[in-house]
Amino acid sequence: MTIGEFARRSGLSANALRLYDELGLLPPARIDASSGYRFYAEPQLGQARLVAALRQLEVPLAGIKAILGLEPAAATGRIGEFWAAAEAEHVARRDLAGYLVDHLSGKRSAVYEVSTRDIPGRSLLCLKRNVEGQQGAWALGKQFIALLRERPLPRMEGRAGAAFCIYWGEVSDDSDGPLEWCRPVPGGRAGELAAQFPGLALRTEAAHREAFVSLGPGGQIGSAQWRLVTESLRAWAGERGAQPSALGVRVTYLANGPVTGGGGPDCDFAVPIA
């Protein structure tokens, strides 16, 4: 059938079908060599309607492409994971809205339990980039992990020795950070280790105190929760006369035992305070 007929029967526009063809999501069954017209087959309607339904769920196009390449059982699992994350983000947005209403009404709203800790001066191997949205943030994290896997670094115990990422600015559709991934290394060997990683920058960070909240296992945080945690920490610090420093807010990842496919590292969200 022609692209117009296929668009009418699938509920997708012709422009969308052309885009999905270019992205490899839904290529036509045949393209006329002389005219360039696209033609689709009846069995493709099911896949087209699936793509349309996933877009209604606001699944990104890259995520849809991954789902289409899976067996049905794996695809249903991936859709379930996406929706669980979407619901978690909705809950975070609801909590953020409630926090803002309380804040503007002059009410104190305790969303998270805040603790403090002292972080010693450290030598850090770092990868810093401006990134676009959470997809860009995850891509930078994968790049950082891939670099560290090339040559294992000495293990440093505790939170002060764990890898962490610093949000020097918000990462969202409107803001590109930048984001910096850091791995503490022994100060006495910092120069030697940095020479093994030409793609990473070596810098030092002075000792400081942090206010933090524990986010538990999982290692991922959505934009609404990012904002809610940040505002909670800043409010907590302000009530105690402590000002957030210019060291950037950060998420620290600490693997307690094996990290499996169904879990993730324990993480917390911290704001250095002065």
**Domain ranges, ordered by start, for the chain:** 3-68, 71-108, 115-273
| Percent of residues in the chain assigned helix, strand, coil, to nearest 5 | 45, 25, 35
Determine the 3-state secondary structure of 56 from DSSP.
Answer: helix
Print burial letters for 136-145: b (CB count within 10 Å at least 16), e (below 16).
bbeebbeebe
pLDDT at site 41: 95
User: Which residues make beta-bridge pairs with 164?
Assistant: 182, 252
pLDDT at site 217: 64
Fold of 115-273: Multidrug-efflux Transporter 1 Regulator Bmrr; Chain A (3.20.80)
Determine the 3-state secondary structure of 181 from DSSP.
Answer: strand
Instruction: Count helices and strands (H / E) in the chain.
Output: 8, 10
Assess contact for 199 and 110: CB atoms under 8 A. no
| CATH class (in words) of the domain with range 3-68 | mainly alpha
**pLDDT tens digits for 41-77?**
999 999 999 999 999 998 988 899 999 989 999 999 9
pLDDT at site 258: 43
Same fold, 3-68 and 115-273: no
Tokens of 238: 């302000």
pLDDT at site 40: 96
Low-confidence ranges of the chain (pLDDT < 50): 257-262
* Rounded-to-integer distance, Cα 269 and Cα 251, Å: 5
Q: Which residue has the tokens 């609404």?
A: 224
pLDDT at site 249: 84
pLDDT at site 22: 92
pLDDT at site 29: 95
Report the predicted TM-score, pTM, of the whole model to 2 decimal places. 0.67
